[in-house]
Amino acid sequence: MRPAVRLSILIAVLSLGFLFVLPLWSIRLEAPQYPEGVSMEIWLTKLSGQLDLINALNHYIGMRPIHQENFPELNLMPWLILGLIGLGLLVVLFNRRWLLGIWVIVFGLLIAIGLVDFYRWGYEYGHNLDPRAPIKVPGMAYQPPLIGSKRLLNFVAHSYPAAGGLIAFGSFVIGTVMLTAECLHARRQKRRCMDIGWKSRVPVTVP
Amino acid sequence: MTAQILSRVLVWSLPVGALVIVGLISGCPSPKQTVATGDAASRVYVPPGQYDEFYAFLSGGFSGQVTVHGLPSGRLLKVIPVFSVHPENGYGYTPETQPLLMTSHGFIPWDDSHHPELSQTDGVPDGRWLFINSNNTPRVARIDLRTFETVEIIEIPNSGGNHASPFVTQNTEYVVAATRFSVPIPQKDVPIATYKENFNGTLSFIKVDPKSGRMELAFQILVPGYNYDLAHAGKGPSHGWAFFTAYNTEQAHTLLEVNASQRDKDFIAAVNWKKAEEYLAQGKYHEMPAEYYHNVYDEQKHMATSRVLTKVKVLIPSECPGMIYYLPTPKSPHGVDVDPSGEYIVAGGKLATVIPVHSFSKMLKAIENQEFDTTIDGIPVLKYEAVLAGEVKTPGLGPLHTEFDGKGYAYTSHFVSSEVVKWKLGTWEVVDRIPTYYSIGHLMIPGGDSRKPWGKYLLAMNKITKDRYLPTGPELVQSAQLIDISGEKMRLLLDFPTLGEPHYAQGLPAELITKNNLKVYPLQENAHPFAVKSVEQARVERKGNEVHVYMTAVRSHFRPDNIEGIQVGDKVFFHVTNLEQDWDIPHGFAILGSNTAEILVMPGQTKTLVWEPKKPGVYPFYCTDFCSALHQEMQGYVRVSPRGANVPLTYGTGQE
């Protein structure tokens, strides 16, 4: 890989370190009585924000209280990201295109699984309501949007990636763009993009 | 022909004459501008959703409380209960707040609150605390401006009518208090006619802890038995001094309206409190026995406690030369106000025809040159001419109190001629006057008694209202009037009604307070001994015939909400903790037949309602503050059985 590519990948990999100090996702609720908004943030290892207040409000519609302990993902995610960083460092160290390919694919899979998991939780919390809830609106579910804004009774829920999420996404985009650039470069040099390449390093000896 | 002319003249004389009379009456320029004109409406209009520029704290007078208004709108923002019980939120009824109203005379449910005073740093209001005095049973209270709650009340011994109070020194080193009614010190059973021999006044200095605000009566100065009326501390060059007005230097003890108005000059007492501190350090004080209460509210325990103090340090002027002087001042002075530079000391001689202004630097010189008229009980009386800076001639009738705009002008309220008179410091000339409706007592300019007035508005607090609002029978509210002082001419902007009878007010820019405003009490910091921090901890415990209900309130239920096993003769303590941590979600609590007030519990707070059921039956209780969509469902029952019944103590929530 060209040095500029290698450097970009290094930056992309190291920037994932920010995921340990910045929230990944933010859900913000606004209502007439809450002009200042009520918000919660999802981090790699924890949930933060006005959870008690959100739970107090959610009890009217029979939503299960949201507690950090209920999410085993929060124990798993930091290890997955550490793994991703480790793999990324290997890409930079061994400077192999195919290794970069693997990193991008693994990263993409993690993002996809994460979003599916997030959607699943949202669905679960939004639909699986206590039948004895004080407020029951026929046909109403309270699933927050995966991404975007949605009206839920008197609240408007905004669900968007937070700083950490944006950095992760940016890192993934850099990886993808660099991989594509490298493949195009390889094609121009009439080489295979995903050539495992160990053999090519053996000097060709002319008898 | 002549007859015809005459008859025509006669025919027209009546209507023409009437027109002339009407013309004379209506054509006469009205002496007073009784209504606001021009753009006054837009000047005081604060659009919905926007904040006022200033906070104003008005004393509630005979209501015993403090009211918080926004200026320029005049909107009432809060009533802070201080010296009177407040059934609306349980103040003075709950065991947590009852100690605040304890005195050496027992529990006192009412007083007359007079002069609010903001704490100052470097002579400028700092927005930390508000002090206020009670006049009837002498006390000084401190309000925490993070929470707008009364957090401390200290009783002043050796005092009768704590009127000249609670003015602060430049860095709130001290809050002062002086007795309006002189009394026997120490109190004893003597004929009232022995006033001159047996009655004395005291000037008290209450030390304020710069960090916590905690008050402590540092010392009292024993002074002749006059009436001490108002006070203000020096600032800048006069920092270290405090000034008190004294009237009834005639020492009358009956029909004071005549007998205390005889002398041409009464006094301003000038106290060098730094000198007093030196004498105190040298041990030149007398330790006098005195019983007085000091009540402190702990904002973490949400509970007040009282302690009784039994001694006070008293300094006697004849033993402490240089500590106190009298400045002769015309005719029963009321206000004593120090201008922002700290040089001029303005007196409001209620019955005087001039406003005398004393000079601090001339006073120091007169002391140095010993220009004394006489000495009273060890207090030198300085020569009037030696201390006088100037007199404002014929300003109006009944000058009471002066504040300053920081631009070189002073504004004096005049009760008798019902007006505010603006005059220039230094030249003493009157430059403008504006009528008030009616009979103004005190006035307030935000920061107007400090080193840095925000001289944009002046608030007149009037004693008589009459026809200013829709009539409400014989008893009317008192009225405040907002006057624009940003220009050369004063302009009336707004009338608004006030609570009780404000005797003074304080104001300051809103951001000095809003930046520290507390929204909820952190539940985790709640150290109330009967607090419960989650619904799982809610319970009921019996100790003999005392039953303690550890109750939680959260939208929208109480836990427990059904209690059985209470008996007639029990004393039931409902310790209600509001588990909310959301701004402006209080819960209330009241139970049928309760002989006390309701309680309003703020988020994160614990309050107790004590109930002694007298008859068997089932008693509903409910939340009294509309908290949520299911507020009407926030209720419960207590079953009361006859004494000795075998109904077991049970409780629960959500159990069918």
Query: What's the angle, vertex CA B481, arms to CA B475 and CA B483, rounded to 5?
Result: 170
Of B514, B539, B559, the domain-final residue: B514
Q: Which domain holds residue A15?
A: 3-201
Owning domain of residue B263: 54-514
pLDDT per position as a tens digit, A24-66: 999 999 999 898 899 999 999 999 999 989 998 999 999 999 9
Q: What is the dihedral of CA B34, B39, B44, B48, to 10 degrees?
A: 130
Q: Which distant-in-sequence residues (6+ apart) come within 8 Å of B378 by Cβ?
A: B316, B317, B318, B319, B320, B321
Assess if residue A59 is contained within a domain. yes
Q: Hey, are the CB atoms on B581 and A52 less than 8 Å from each other? A: yes
Q: Give the pLDDT confidence score for residue B394 in this predicted structure.
A: 85
Look at residue B1 and tell me whether its pLDDT is greater than 80: no
pLDDT given at position B179: 96
Written as six digits, the tokens of B230 are: 């108002």
Whether B459 and B580 share a structural domain: no
Number of domains in chain A: 1
Query: What is the pLDDT, as a whole number, of residue A197?
Result: 52
Domain shared by B508 and B538, yes or no: no
Task: Please report the beta strands in B557-634, taking only residues with DSSP state E, as ranges in sequence order.
Answer: 557-559, 562-567, 571-578, 587-591, 599-601, 606-611, 617-622
Contact status of A53 with chain B (Cβ, < 8 Å): yes
Distance CA B164, CA B114 (A): 9
Strands B199-208 and B183-184: what pairing? antiparallel
Cα gap A50→B582, rounded to integer Å: 9
Is the same domain home to B502 and B628? no
What local confidence, expressed as pLDDT, does residue B65 receive? Answer: 98
Name the residue in chain A with its Cα closest to that of B630: A134
> Where does the pLDDT of residue B554 fall: very low under 50, low under 70, confident under 90, or very high at 90 and above?
very high
CB of B277 closer than 8 Å to CB of B204: no
Q: What is the DSSP letter of A61?
A: T
CATH of the domain at B624: 2.60.40.420
CB pairs under 8 A between A and B: 20
Average pLDDT of the segment spanning A113-138: 93
- The answer on B473 and B595 residing in a single domain is no
Determine, for residues B630 and A52 on separate chains, whether the beta-carbon distance falls below 8 Å. Answer: no
- Domain shared by B88 and B219, yes or no: yes
The total of other beta-carbon atoms located within 10 Å of residue A202's CB is 7
What mean pLDDT comes out for the span B534-548?
96
Q: Are residues B563 and B645 in the same domain?
A: yes
Predicted TM-score (pTM) of the model is: 0.88
The answer to whether the CB of B64 falls within 8 A of the CB of B127 is: no
State the pairing for strand pair B286-298/B149-155. Answer: antiparallel
Q: Is the dihedral of CA B271, B275, B281, B282 positive or negative?
A: negative
Say whether residue B517 is in contact with chain A using an 8 A CB cutoff: no
Residue B44 in this model has a pLDDT that exceeds 80: yes
Q: How far is CA B406 from the centre of its chain?
A: 24
For the record, the structure tokens of B472 come out as 């409400």
Whether residue B604 is found in the same domain as residue B474 = no
Nearest to B127 by CA among B150, B149, B144: B144
Strand (E) or helix (H) holding B132: strand B124-134
What is the number of alpha carbons within 13 Å of residue B21 lying toward its C-beta? Answer: 6
Task: Return the HEC string of B25-88.
Answer: HHHCCCCCCCCCCCCHHHHHCCCCCCCCCEEEEEECECCCCEEEEEECCCCEEEEECCCCCECC
**pLDDT tens string A55-111:** 989 999 999 999 999 999 999 999 999 999 999 999 999 999 999 999 999 999 999
User: What are B625-642's pLDDT values in tens digits?
Assistant: 999 889 999 999 999 999
When pLDDT is averaged across residues B201-224 and rounded to a whole number, the result is 98
Evaluate whether residue B29 is within a structural domain. no
pLDDT digit string (tens) for B642-654?
Answer: 999 999 999 999 8
Last residue of a domain, one of B514, B549, B564: B514
Task: Check if the beta carbon of residue A88 is closer than 8 Å to that of residue A1.
Answer: no
CB within 8 Å: A56 and B629: no
The reply to whether B190 and B314 lie within a common domain is yes
- Quickly state the pLDDT bin for A192 (edges 50, 70, 90): confident
Name the H helices within B55-147: none
CB B605 within 8 A of CB B521: yes
Q: Which pair of tokens denotes residue B567?
A: 């008996």
**Cα–Cα distance measured from residue B564 to residue B559, given in angstroms and rounded to the nearest whole number:** 14
Closest by alpha carbon to B239, among B322, B173, B176?
B173
Residue with tokens 């609590």: B589
Segment B326-368, tens digit of pLDDT: 999 999 999 999 999 999 999 998 888 999 999 999 999 999 9
B609, part of any domain: yes
Task: Establish if B253 belongs to a structural domain.
Answer: yes
- Gap between the Cα atoms of A168 and A112, Å rounded: 12
With contact defined as beta carbons under 8 Å apart, do A64 and A51 qualify? no
Does the residue A207 lie in any domain? no
Residue B262 to residue B399: CA distance in whole angstroms? 18
CA distances B58 to B130, B220, B460, Å, are 11, 28, 11
Same domain, B198 and B291: yes
Asked if B578 and B444 sit in the same domain, the reply is: no
Is 90 exceeded by the pLDDT of residue A205? no
Total domains, chain B: 2
Lowest mean pLDDT segment, chosen from A6-10, A152-156, B71-75, B428-432: A152-156
pLDDT at B106: 98
Residue type, B475: E
Helix (H, G, I), strand (E, B) or coil at B86: strand
Residue linked to tokens 């919660």 = A40
CATH number, position A49: 1.20.140
pLDDT average, residue stretch B253-264: 92
**A32/chain B closest Cα distance in angstroms:** 13
Q: Verify that B566 and B477 share a domain, yes or no.
A: no
Same structural domain for residues B437 and B543?
no
Q: What number is the average pLDDT over the span B399-421?
A: 97
Q: What CA–CA distance (Å, rounded) separates B412 from B402?
A: 4
Q: Mean per-residue pLDDT for B131-140?
A: 98
Domain at B482, CATH number: 2.130.10.10
8 Å CB contact of B554 and A56: yes
Looking at the predicted structure, is the pLDDT value of residue B414 above 80? yes
Taking contacts as CB-CB distances below 8 angstroms, the residues of chain A near B633 are: 134
